[in-house]
Amino acid sequence: MYRIVDKKVLNPTVVQLQIEAPLVANKARPGQFIILRVDENGERIPLTIAGADRENGTVKIIFQIVGSTTEKLSHKEAGDYIQDFVGPLGVATHLDGLKKVCIVGGGVGCAIAMPIAEALHEMGAEVTSIIGFRNKDLLILEDEFKACSDTLRIMTDDGSYGEHGNVTVPLKEMLEAGEKFDMIITIGPLIMMKFVVATAKPFGTPVTASMNPVMIDGTGMCGGCRLTLNVDGKKVTKFACVDGPDFNGYEIDFDEAMSRGRMYFDFERHAHEATCNLFKKEVQ
């Protein structure tokens, strides 16, 4: 069992937890993830590590309430326990040799982007961060990004905070103005990452995209997280849990990934509704 040390609600649908897991905290690196179960009958879900405190032995996770398990997890409080917390899993984001990097995060994907920006900042790299949200109410981690970014651009779809527009607007402006980045690292909705790659392509800037498809075992055995890459004109199958989650953005078949991601939408929605109704009955 793993104790929840601290809980913070970042916005109406996003929650941050600090979990006591010293072995995981000691090994965790930016870009890696864990797989947890809320209780002994729960499903396994992957969540990217949003930070690790080696001294205190805690791991930070940030999640959006979208399904049954994240709904259950959101009702846990500091002092409560969760059943399983396994990791760190996946390949850490490659940061060696990077001197000037643009981090592009969207929505809850900013929780994954933030520790990468922090690590780059600590390495002495020049960090430009572009983070986007649908509106002001969904904004998260502004202060954290300010602390580790040389330049920060905040975008909202409706213009209610920061600048009006999506994340590709300032990215295109910078590239057209002659900015040269060693790497663009993008993390967020698949459609956002697809257009970040399309924006960078005319300029030849390398792009790393963090993929978070459905995962079950985290070892590459189930095949649920498989992705198709186009490498030198050939289709190659990779598994996000063991080969990723980071991949060359120019090689990813985003259309296939989006199609696979929609397969369980109705099932997840119904499961979420059933879980919400269960908690409402308990309150009554």
Q: What is the CATH number of the domain that holds 85?
A: 2.40.30.10
Residues 206 and 108 reside in one and the same domain: yes
Distances (CA, A) of 132 to 12, 41, 110, 229, 255: 17, 36, 8, 26, 21
Backbone angles phi, psi at 10, to 5 degrees: -85, -35
Asked, for residue 234, whether it belongs to a domain, the answer is yes
Asked, for residue 269, whether it belongs to a domain, the answer is no
Residues 42 and 156 reside in one and the same domain: no
Asked, for residue 30, whether it belongs to a domain, the answer is yes
Q: Which long-range contacts (CB under 8 A, 24 or more apart) does 177-182 make?
A: 179/102, 179/128, 180/100, 180/205, 181/100, 181/101, 181/102, 181/128, 181/205, 182/97, 182/98, 182/99, 182/100, 182/101, 182/206
Residues 80 and 137 reside in one and the same domain: no
Residues 143 and 58 reside in one and the same domain: no
pLDDT in tens, 129-187: 999 999 999 999 999 999 999 999 999 999 999 999 999 999 999 999 999 999 999 99
pLDDT in tens, 58-111: 999 999 998 888 999 999 999 999 999 999 999 999 999 999 999 999 999 999
Residues 52 and 122 reside in one and the same domain: no
- In the chain, DSSP finds a helix count (H) and a strand count (E) of 9, 16
Asked, for residue 95, whether it belongs to a domain, the answer is no
Residues 38 and 120 reside in one and the same domain: no
Residues 111 and 251 reside in one and the same domain: yes
Residue-level pLDDT at 222: 82
Residue-level pLDDT at 218: 78
Asked, for residue 155, whether it belongs to a domain, the answer is yes
Residues 121 and 246 reside in one and the same domain: yes
Report the CATH number at residue 196: 3.40.50.80
> Residue 210's closest CA among 20, 43, 49?
49
> Residue 234's closest CA among 258, 261, 253, 247?
253
- Judged against a pLDDT cut of 60, whether residue 40 lies above it is answered with yes
- Total structural domains in the chain? 2
pLDDT in tens, 172-228: 999 999 999 999 999 999 999 999 999 999 999 999 999 987 777 777 788 888 899
Asked, for residue 284, whether it belongs to a domain, the answer is no
pLDDT in tens, 235-266: 999 998 899 899 999 999 999 988 877 666 66
Final residue before a domain boundary, out of 89, 117, 139: 89
Residues 74 and 207 reside in one and the same domain: no
Residue-level pLDDT at 61: 95
Residues 84 and 105 reside in one and the same domain: no
- Judged against a pLDDT cut of 70, whether residue 6 lies above it is answered with yes
pLDDT-based confidence at residue 278 (cuts at 50, 70, 90): low
Final residue before a domain boundary, out of 45, 65, 89: 89
Residue-level pLDDT at 214: 77
- Percent of the residues in the chain that have a pLDDT greater than 70, as a whole number: 92
> Residue 91's closest CA among 247, 202, 198?
247
Residue-level pLDDT at 106: 95
Asked, for residue 276, whether it belongs to a domain, the answer is no
Final residue before a domain boundary, out of 59, 89, 119: 89
Residue-level pLDDT at 33: 93
Residue range(s) defining the domain that contains residue 27: 2-89
Residues 172 and 116 reside in one and the same domain: yes
pLDDT-based confidence at residue 270 (cuts at 50, 70, 90): low
Backbone angles phi, psi at 109, to 5 degrees: -60, -20
Residues 246 and 130 reside in one and the same domain: yes
Residue with tokens 């990791």: 87
- Token couple for 53: 């405190």
Asked, for residue 274, whether it belongs to a domain, the answer is no
For 120-134, what is the mean pLDDT? 97
